[in-house]
Chains A and B, each alone.
Chain A
């Protein structure tokens, strides 16, 4: 039971821990998640991730069962919608296969070579989450490095790798990132930013186009821009859900991302940029050799879709 005497050292201890906590936060902000902080994160993940993997084996069926129970009311409608979507997708697939066959024929006729720009991909299971961040079961030894873009199995943008340990990594979804994402809507470039504390669980984002020349319409697709330093160009991000016209030279509208991070079970980490050496480093700087070697090794260990069969 409780003892009535309370230590007099509780308050000094509390204040000391608060000061340490605030110092750590300030330190993290100043280091922007790098340096010692990154090492600490990797170390903790390396220790905890084996336990998370084991727990995930037991937890996944339970989580799936509970998710199914919570969704049972809408299963019939979802089934009908998915059947229709499947029929449409199969029709589109046939059309795309025709196009690919024509393309291959034309390339053969004109003796063209593809540029070999296929990105290495690492497929990973989502084994857990902390707040909005997702934890996956692939890490540095599988070629997953901090900063790499992450997509879902449909190719839709999820976010980037925030930190990676040897056997696991943490993904920060675009809906939780403080940094804006440079995107393309039609021919206009804009910035996609999160909407904190939104009532719809962060599934809507704000799109700001600062040099707007034409209106954007509901249903317009939002793609990653070539101006983005975090993602390859042309990846689908979401769609505009409200019409908006330019006011003066800017416009703001709402975008719904294609991916709901909470519903993800699998993700694909892209080995991008494909050539980290030329993208990140300067040959004249000898200190960069270690980093680039790690990046090269990581790139070489990733699996391509062809490898996956």
Chain B
């Protein structure tokens, strides 16, 4: 991974973490999970798969360290989502709608895994109430953000203006 690419990814993760913990941490309406989405969208780039998994793990770890949940909980979940994203990324190439659906489904998977592992480790209350609404609203919000920004993000990371251009 080149230094510039690493810098772009690092900055994106930091901005996502700050926005997630401030703006989206304060809003009581529909909010996306930007940090999880970074791991998903990175799977669409030419960045090495190991690096994508590493970034997903580290960004999850940062979220764990900033919150009060178990350290490693989100790291495991984001890594799992990134791995599934890497294995299924060919299905998202067709257009913005498929990217949105793909990102939404992966987010749903992430939330289910988060609630599952969180419950096993006694973190259910900390992960917040209203699990059903979270499982609907966050994937929808992530799908919308992915549809809007995934092509731009991929072009920025890959430095390829032709990437993910649809008619």
Chain A residues within 8 Å of B, Cβ to Cβ: 1-3, 6-7, 9-10, 13-14, 17-18, 20-25, 27-29, 37, 40-41, 44-45, 48, 51-52, 55-56, 59-60, 62-63, 66-67, 70, 126-133, 135, 162-163, 170, 172, 175-178, 194-203, 262-263
Q: Are A63 and B26 in contact (CB under 8 A)?
A: yes
For chain B, the count of residues having a C-beta within 8 Å of the partner chain is 64
Which residues of chain A have C-beta atoms less than 8 A from B129's C-beta?
A: 175, 195-203
Across the interface, A60 reaches (CB within 8 A) one of B21, B26, B46, namely B26
Q: Are A51 and B125 in contact (CB under 8 A)?
A: no
What CA separation (Å) do A10 and B43 show in the bound complex? 12
Whole-angstrom distance from the CB of B10 to the nearest CB of chain A?
13
What CA separation (Å) do A130 and B68 show in the bound complex? 8
Which residues of chain B have C-beta atoms less than 8 A from A25's C-beta?
A: 70-73, 76, 121
Q: Are B90 and A28 in contact (CB under 8 A)?
A: no
What CA separation (Å) do A18 and B27 show in the bound complex? 31
What CA separation (Å) do A199 and B27 show in the bound complex? 18
Give how many A-B residue pairs fall within 8 Å (CB-CB): 200
Q: Are B57 and A17 in contact (CB under 8 A)?
A: yes
Q: Are B49 and A6 in contact (CB under 8 A)?
A: yes
User: 6 extra interchain contacts, Cβ-Cβ under 8 A, other than A1-B162, A133-B68, A200-B130?
Assistant: A14-B83, A48-B17, A126-B26, A130-B25, A176-B125, A197-B124
Determine the main DSSP class of B at the interface with A: helix
What CA separation (Å) do A84 and B44 show in the bound complex? 57
Which residues of chain A have C-beta atoms less than 8 A from B69's C-beta?
A: 130-131, 133
Q: Are B75 and A196 in contact (CB under 8 A)?
A: no
- A-contacting residues, B138-167, CB 8 Å: 154, 158, 160, 162-164
Which residues of chain B have C-beta atoms less than 8 A from A28's C-beta?
A: 70-72
Q: Are A201 and B128 in contact (CB under 8 A)?
A: yes
Assess A130 versus B44: contact at CB under 8 Å? Given A22-B72, A25-B76, A63-B23.
Answer: no
Whether B95 sits at the interface, judged by CB under 8 Å, is no
Q: Are B65 and A262 in contact (CB under 8 A)?
A: no
What CA separation (Å) do A16 and B22 show in the bound complex? 32
User: Which 4 pairs from chain A and chain B are nearest by CB?
Assistant: A130-B67, A24-B72, A196-B124, A202-B129
What CA separation (Å) do A247 and B89 show in the bound complex? 57
Whole-angstrom distance from the CB of B42 to the nearest CB of chain A?
12
Q: Are B66 and A70 in contact (CB under 8 A)?
A: no
